[in-house]
């Protein structure tokens, strides 16, 4: 099994463990896409042939120069100069200084700044969506939709900025008040992954900002241009409001920057989106200094369809959840459990649906399926298919690399595996769907829960009792538990995250804002007496 080299581990975020080489011989650099007329819009985002990858109120970067590539053709797009350790140190200092200003801004005023960031993103949504499609590889509608998620969480955060707070509690002592006070933690480090290079930062950034925190972002190296372009938009808003740019800092970089963030006591909360393997290392480093971590790690998500399921919902749901973003979502459906009475019919319908998937350049509006992010991802796809066949699985659709430029593989369906096959318990960031038969509710609920991850899950049924058993304590053990919809496509109003090896973190909506704040219980004596605790006289 392919393993992440230890020296690279902390550098990677979810799925970016698949990342390819960032430096190639000069011959490969001769024709950057940014210099071609059809990609002139890249310069409208403030991008150049070589871009500075550090922002802390001013732009810079004294580290290694890397090149990012388009997954659809593996052609170089542009270069980014990453942060050195000296850049990192300077940026953290400036971010801490900026916090002293930002923390004093009233929360509703902070919300107004976040509103302006959302408006600026909205004005650039098409170009940013194009960039996500070009550099990450997801289809255009998903790229634009991802930027829309950042816009939406900004709107959500604006309202939240007038609502955060703690309760006034009844005190047992006369002349006393008991209140909960919530304050920002300070500096929030945000390490994001290649597969959602805009939205995950947005979930963290918008909520952290209205809570009074400053942010330090390290995106995946293979999507560095997206990190730079988004930060340029945010920086303009901060500058227009005469606020320190270091409120939203950026340090593009690799393992050294990721490790520094995890070990740095000045980083009060580290939000990490990535693989379980790397997340475990991050959590240990943060815990060693008694810091806080917010982990969004792996997922091995299942869809369960019972005999009473509406197959007109099951088939498109399974298809979208399994092949959306070419299987590179943390919420991708990797396991499909079908009641034995509908198994063959659903598999046949899925094969017909898969045959109609439109494949092509992800920025073409009529395309539904694009490439994997890197060549290494293609190798992992092939390795997983081979392993599935060795363990008794049958590839009934796909299983091969497509004969075209770029990192394209066939969306794949595998049947015949045992529910506990090791490959089915392994998260592979690729469009491979393992299909299983089941007999009854008890066994399939157990099979859903037997994997180490606990992110997303879904059942399809009309049985009301079964639905509530699924939602209850003996049902799914995941953080996202759906009924009659796919495993992917979470809304920003709910808290996003999972249990077990998924890390336990929660981002986005509901009360996820509490992760970005510290709570104080405050007792105020407004009387002239001093009643002591525990009845002491």
Q: How is 107-161 classified by DSSP, letter by letter?
A: HHHHHHHHHHHHHHHHHTHHHHHHHHHHHT---HHHHHHHHHHHHHHHHHHHHHT
Assess contact for 82 and 61: CB atoms under 8 A. Answer: yes
Residues 6+ apart with CB under 8 A from 404: none
Residues 6+ apart with CB under 8 A from 453: 276, 297, 298, 299, 300, 301, 427, 498, 500, 501, 502
- Which residue is catalytic, options 146, 296, 410, 507? 296
State residue 60 phi and psi, 5-degree precision.
Answer: -170, -155
The pairing of beta strand 176-184 with beta strand 517-525: antiparallel
Assess contact for 134 and 363: CB atoms under 8 A. Answer: yes
List beta partners, residue 80.
51, 66
Nearest C-alpha neighbor of 332 from the set 304, 300, 359: 300
Q: Could you give the residue ranges of the DSSP H alpha helices within 74-106?
A: 85-102
Angle subtended at Cα 481 by Cα 295 and Cα 323, rounded to the nearest 5 degrees: 80
Collapse the DSSP code of 17 into the 3-class scheme (helix H, G, I; strand E, B; otherwise coil) and give the result.
Answer: helix
Q: How many CB atoms lie within 10 A of CB 103?
A: 15
Q: How many CB atoms lie within 10 A of CB 391?
A: 15
Check if 296 is active-site: yes
Please give the radius of gyration of the chain, using alpha carbons only, rounded to the nearest integer: 24
Question: What is the spatial distance between Cα 92 and Cα 348, in angstroms, rounded to a whole number?
Answer: 55
- Side by side, the strands of the sheet bearing 394-397 are 394-397, 412-415, 432-438, 333-339, 301-305, 456-460, 480-483
Question: 22 is written with which tokens?
Answer: 């960032």
Name the E strands within 205-330. 214-218, 248-251, 269-273, 292-296, 301-305
By annotation, the residues acting in catalysis are 296
């Amino acid at each position: 099994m392919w393993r992440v080299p230890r020296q690279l581990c902390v550098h990677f975020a979810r799925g970016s463990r698949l990342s390819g080489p960032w430096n190639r011989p000069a011959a490969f650099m001769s024709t950057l896409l940014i210099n071609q007329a059809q990609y002139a819009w890249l310069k409208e985002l403030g991008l150049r042939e070589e871009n500075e990858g550090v922002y802390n109120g001013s732009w810079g970067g004294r580290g290694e120069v890397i090149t990012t590539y388009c997954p659809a053709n593996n052609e170089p797009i542009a270069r980014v100069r990453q942060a050195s350790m000296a850049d990192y140190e300077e940026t953290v200092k400036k971010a801490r200084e900026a916090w002293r200003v930002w923390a004093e801004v009233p929360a509703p005023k902070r919300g107004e700044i976040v509103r302006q960031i959302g408006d600026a993103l909205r004005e650039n949504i098409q170009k940013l969506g194009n960039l996500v499609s070009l550099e990450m590889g997801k289809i255009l509608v998903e790229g634009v939709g991802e930027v829309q998620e950042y816009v939406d969480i900004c709107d959500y955060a604006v309202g939240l900025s007038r609502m955060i707070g703690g309760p006034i509690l009844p005190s047992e002592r006369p002349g006393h008040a008991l209140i909960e006070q919530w304050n920002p933690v300070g500096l929030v480090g945000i390490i994001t992954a290649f597969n959602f290079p805009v939205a995950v930062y947005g979930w963290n950034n918008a909520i952290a900002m209205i809570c009074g925190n400053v942010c330090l972002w390290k995106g995946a190296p293979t999507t560095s241009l997206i990190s730079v372009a988004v930060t340029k938009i945010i920086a303009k808003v901060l500058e227009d409001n005469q606020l320190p740019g270091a409120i939203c800092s950026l340090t593009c970089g690799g393992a050294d920057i990721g490790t520094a963030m995890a070990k740095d006591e000045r980083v009060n909360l580290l939000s990490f989106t990535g693989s379980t393997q790397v997340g475990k290392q991050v959590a240990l480093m943060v815990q060693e200094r008694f810091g806080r971590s917010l982990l969004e790690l792996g997922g091995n998500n299942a869809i369960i369809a019972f005999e009473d399921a509406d197959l007109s919902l099951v088939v498109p749901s399974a298809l979208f959840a399994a092949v959306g973003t070419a299987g590179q979502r943390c919420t991708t459906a990797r396991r499909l459990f079908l009641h034995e009475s509908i198994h063959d019919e659903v598999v046949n319908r899925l094969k017909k649906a898969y045959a109609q998937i439109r494949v092509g350049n992800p920025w073409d509006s009529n395309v539904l399926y694009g490439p994997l992010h890197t060549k290494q991802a293609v190798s992992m796809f092939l390795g997983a298919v081979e392993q599935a066949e060795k363990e008794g699985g049958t590839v009934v659709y796909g299983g091969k690399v497509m004969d075209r430029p770029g990192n394209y593989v066939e969306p794949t369906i595998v049947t015949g595996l045992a529910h506990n096959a090791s490959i089915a318990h392994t998260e592979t960031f690729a469009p491979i769907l393992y299909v299983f038969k089941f007999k009854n509710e008890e066994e399939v609920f157990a099979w859903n829960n037997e994997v180490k991850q606990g992110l997303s899950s879904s059942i399809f049924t009309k049985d009301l009792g079964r639905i509530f058993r699924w939602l209850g304590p003996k049902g799914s053990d995941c953080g996202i538990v759906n009924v009659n919809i796919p495993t992917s496509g979470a809304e920003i109003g709910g808290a996003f995250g999972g249990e077990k090896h998924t890390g336990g973190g929660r981002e986005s909506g509901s009360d996820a804002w509490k992760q970005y704040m510290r709570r104080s219980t405050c007792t105020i004596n407004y009387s002239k007496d001093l009643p002591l605790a525990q009845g002491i006289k």
